[in-house]
């Protein structure tokens, strides 16, 4: 009787949740919603790790400051076990100071860890026309943060096709539907080892 009462008082734990926290690259910009890499990742999880729930909290145009301002609310709402942080590209394209980008991303990582969420940080690179000094400083942000905060790193989200125009929409920035599987593969290499 007591055991039954105890069971009814404690509900089953919710499904483990993965939160994708990014910008237009994760919000399927210019694509049907189910064609983006996050939707494709959800399908892969359903096949290979069906206990996981995937939430996409990505917003087109999001910056690291915007992400820093809304991470607390996203963590409270979704209570994720894993957060995939895909931010910084818009900051870089606007020429934001690398130290500012780093500080904002660090604050997001720290917030996630305080909420007992594991972090996957996805690296980003900028086109060469932004100058060698700036692009190198920007690119270095991601491995530095991953090492400092001991979080997992996808070295470059667009690895394997960033130099191939046929994999990008007319704006030259957002990957086509064909490229989305390549993004999933880059993320999956790191994520699959974190799944229980």
Which residues carry out catalysis? Answer: 24, 171, 174
Containing 114, the helix (H) or strand (E) segment is helix 98-114
- Here the tokens at position 76 are 């409270």
Give the up-direction half-sphere exposure of residue 20: CA atoms within 13 A in the CB hemisphere.
27
**DSSP labels, 161-190:** TTT-GGGB-TTSSSB-HHHHHHHHHHHHHH
**In terms of residues, how long is the chain?**
196
Instruction: Name the CA dihedral angle for 173, 66, 150, 183, rounded to a multiple of 10 degrees.
Output: -30
């Amino acid at each position: 009787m007591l055991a039954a009462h105890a069971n009814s008082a404690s509900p089953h734990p919710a499904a483990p949740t993965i939160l994708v926290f990014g910008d237009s690259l994760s919000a399927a910009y210019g694509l049907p919603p189910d064609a983006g890499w996050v939707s494709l990742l959800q399908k892969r999880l359903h096949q290979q790790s069906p206990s996981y729930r995937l939430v996409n909290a990505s917003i087109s145009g999001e910056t690291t400051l915007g992400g820093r301002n809304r991470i607390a609310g996203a963590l409270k709402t979704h209570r994720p076990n894993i957060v995939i942080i895909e931010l910084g590209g818009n900051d870089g394209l606007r020429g934001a100071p690398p130290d500012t980008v780093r500080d904002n991303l660090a604050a997001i990582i720290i917030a996630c860890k305080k909420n007992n969420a594991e972090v996957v940080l996805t690296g980003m690179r900028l086109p060469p026309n932004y100058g060698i000094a700036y692009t190198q400083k920007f690119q270095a942000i991601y491995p530095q943060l991953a090492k400092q905060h001991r979080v997992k790193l996808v070295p470059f989200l667009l690895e394997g096709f960033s130099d191939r125009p046929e994999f990008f929409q007319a704006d030259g920035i957002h990957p086509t539907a064909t490229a989305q599987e390549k993004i999933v593969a880059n993320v999956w290499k790191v994520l699959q080892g974190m799944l229980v």
